[in-house]
Amino acid sequence: MEVLEAIRGRRHIKQFKPDPIDEATWMSWLQEATNAPNHKMTEPWEIIVVGPEARMNLRHGANFGDAPVVLAVLSKRGASQIERDENLMAVACFLENLSLIAEAHGAGIRWTSIGWQEHARQVLGVSDEYDIANIIGLGYPEEVPPAKPRTPIAEKIRRVP
């Protein structure tokens, strides 16, 4: 699959098939995702594989779309607000890489924002050294939703002299 095809095809997956993804497969996807840009090669991401008990205790309303794999992706906070922001941006790039890699292999990701809840930090045992950037479901889509219209980029560009 070409890069542009993966970018255009990537979707937020709401429901997954029960088909498992072999751990060696998704681990290789995570490894490839580490090719994301990150300031000073800090590689600020850490991954928690969320097991069945923790998953149940997270109480996600849609149960991560019944994804066969659930991962919490953490971002190292850093010593300053600038470093924290840079780290979160690097982790976002890591997550986008993972999303595109999954798409290229016929899989997909369900993004959630519950990681910002204190409850999630407690369930996952996340120290104050990290932010939970995202908790994702990873699997093969039950269905792929249609693309939503995007604003033409020309409407988002401003020029300064």
* pLDDT (mean) for 113-124: 90
Q: Domain with 107 in it: what CATH number?
A: 3.40.109.10
Q: Residue 1 above 80 pLDDT?
A: no
Our CA angle for 84, 62, 77, nearest 5°, is 10
Evaluate whether residue 32 is within a structural domain.
yes
Evaluate whether residue 7 is within a structural domain.
no
Cα–Cα separations (whole angstroms), residue 143 to 21, 109, 139: 17, 12, 11
Its domain, for residue 40, covers: 19-142
Evaluate whether residue 129 is within a structural domain.
yes
Evaluate whether residue 156 is within a structural domain.
no
Evaluate whether residue 161 is within a structural domain.
no
Q: What is the pLDDT of residue 6?
A: 87
Q: What is the pLDDT of residue 81?
A: 97
Evaluate whether residue 1 is within a structural domain.
no
Count of alpha carbons within 13 angstroms of residue 89, beta-carbon side:
11
Q: Give how many domains the chain has, as a whole number.
A: 1
Evaluate whether residue 79 is within a structural domain.
yes
Evaluate whether residue 153 is within a structural domain.
no
* pTM of structure: 0.93
Residues 33 and 134: beta-carbon distance below 8 Å: no
Lowest mean pLDDT among 112-121, 134-143, 152-161: 112-121
